[in-house]
Structure 1
Amino acid sequence: MRGRLTLLVAAVGVLVVIAFLVPLAVLVRTVAADRATTRATADVQRLVPLVGTADPETIRSTVDQIGADTGRDVSVFLADGTVLGTPASRTPTVVLAARGESLTVESAAGREVVVAVQGRPEGTGVIRTVVPRDELTAGVTRAWLVLALLGALLVLVGLVVADRLAGSLVRPISALSAVSHRLANAELDARVEPAGPAELREVAGALNHLAERIQVLLREEREQVADLSHRLRTPLTALRLEAESLRDPDDAARLTTAVDGLERAVTGVIRQARWRSTASAGGSCDAAAVVGERVTFWSVLAEDTARTLTIDLAPGPLPVRLSGDELAAAVDALLGNVFAHTPDGTPFQVRLAARADEVTLTVADAGPGLPPGSRRRGASGAGSTGLGLDIAERAARAGGGRLELSAGPDGGARVVLTLGVVAPR
């Protein structure tokens, strides 16, 4: 934008300079030619009384003297054919002037000035002089050079002023852009200092107001989620007491483990609800330990529903750029989808593989596959919330990876969660 404004001012400045300097340059040349012609005419007019009354010898000496003083060719044509001064032939202009008419005409040699003189006994005499081209344009080149330098100086000053003006416009716009990018990166405390024209100051104020409003809305949302999570603690406590009161130790242990997992999830929701920004949601964990723990938990339900579970987990530690709570939530979401969207008895497999710069978790089943639009947030074909894949995808992005959906080797669904590893220190 700054370059375009400068270019625009430069173009306008050049056009204005041309519009003024070109006519001025033509005027300078015309004035110089007219001044030279006026001087030549004045010199010729000094000879008129002499040519009208003096003898030829007196006229000759005076004409030679004037020619030597002015550096121009001066000739006097008498009616009897005598030519005094600089030898020259009778031109059509001289012939016309012999009829009594004084003229100034352009010729190949310059500008020809002829003056008719009445009163001589033999007839009308004619005084002729020629103003050469170099005298007609004397000083014009220097004047044009001065005008060109003046025009260049004006354009340069215009460019400097335009650059300063463009800078006063571009700097506030750049500040607005920088703050908007910071807000997009979850730096909600970023603010812009209003500057520049009134319109840009108004935009800056609107952006600051928007950032404050976003902070208020996020704070209200987090508090609402936190409040809802706190409300869940009471039924969780009651559920734990019920689990501990069961007589069968195996059932009590299994139900207590489920309550523990639910409580961890609720605790994670509370923590995430109180995070100031998504940028603070960093962390790391051992993917092998977290995935192993969650697969062990779900293997009990797989056994109860007659599902064959194939487990292939790479040995740890496998540090990934994701907190343990978020990774556990993603694993629970993927495995929960298997139980929610496939019939009992459907086999599935869980594989955790490690590479140089990433860790890959693959969950594949032999069920009916993914329905169309299942990746869309809130979409579900089994009466669930439809947020499982969305939770996994957000975890993948937070962990510097990606989530891929495809058909499994047995025709069912195959979900691959890739996470970036933590660089060794």
Structure 2
Amino acid sequence: MCALVALAFLVPLTVSLGDRDREDAIADAARRSALVTGALAVSTDAEVVSRAIAATGDDPVTRPVVRGLGTDESTARATEADVERARAGGRSLLVDVDGGIVRLDPVVLGDTTAVVEVFLPESTLGGVSTTRWLLLLGVAAALVCATVLVVDRVALRAVDATRGLVRAALAVGDGDLDVRVEPAGPRELAEAGYAFNRMADRLVVSRTDERELVADLSHRLRTPLTVLRLDAEALESDDTSIGTFSEAELDRRRGIRRMRQAIVTLEGEIDVLIKTTRKAVAHEAGPAMCDVSEVVRDRMVFWSALAGDQNRPHRVVGAQLRIPAPVPRAELAAALDAVIGNVFRYTPQGTAFEVAVSRRDGYVAIRIDDAGPGIANPDRALRRGTSDQGSTGLGLDIAKRVALQANGSVSIDRARLGGASVVMLLADPEATPRQVNRFGLVGRMARDARDQKTGGRRWPRPRATDA
């Protein structure tokens, strides 16, 4: 194809160059003839005419010859008939002769008409030149070779980029979501490489979010499971090895044992599910709006019934007025259940707790205090998947992620009741945060924001005593 294109351009070019050479040769002949005709117009003296002929060039073959003045006409090539035709026509003629062409220019000298003859050899007319054809063929071959080389290099880059994209696609299809491509090749392939990398990143995020959703949903199952476990523990003993029992009593105790074993098995399965699917990712869901007071009141209806069964003193503070927060209702309910569930799970029966809601300085604070033993390592408790109690460690992390979703934070401190105090700060959508005293509510949030890895406050350090 490249050779055909080169020939399509070079053949017309060669013909055009030949025509150009012929025109240049004829124009040169006209110039030399004009020198002689000009001299004849001035004088017909033989010496003057000879000097004019000598001035046209050194080649005796191409020097003009004056016909009809009795001068030397031995080098003339045109026939008498052609000369007479030029005299009769009174205009220049081009006549083909052996070895080239001649130009005949008539000049009227009184009663006579002389004719100036200029011979043009075939070599000066730009006919078929072997040298020119060979040169142009060489140029065509060089152009074809250069084109093939450039196309081969470009095609090689495109092929390499395509092969890399294919290998990466096959790897992703086989489950390797860490593979990426280096965008290269033509613009279209480079854009395809960038699009592939974005797709792979999105797949990783989607898969991780799905696992996180499974882990969080599994953790939410702990709330009803905790109730079942506590109710099962409140039942009578399931020991059938000591004492004598009737058949009905044996069946009842065996039923209690099976129920407790089923709860333990279910808790174990949920723990395995959470630990298997746990991943640390950013939550991308856009926040919705909910009423914090309404969510607290609704969840405390559930937890109050359980607290009554366990003789736990409890109270709710500040949940009478509407307090909006930029989080989905279900997410906030899950966070409250996770934190309050920890109180029931890790504190003895009869331990008091308190849930308080406050709103100031552009933030909404949800505080859950208890009178239990407290949390020995707050920083560790706020790290995802970490627990000192043998659980999955997702409870406080759920609360932390909900708070971060609302541009807030979670902190752990010593409660007024003597145990742990977990505070969730949520940005108030109806107020603009402002800087206040660093020991106030916003100050607590600011300190937590400087340590996003842990998100929690440390226990107050003991003051140094004077020596």
TM-score (norm 1): 0.40
Q: Compare the two structures and name the one with the higher helix fraction.
A: 1
Q: Who wins on radius of gyration, i.e. which is larger?
A: 2
TM-score by length of 2: 0.37
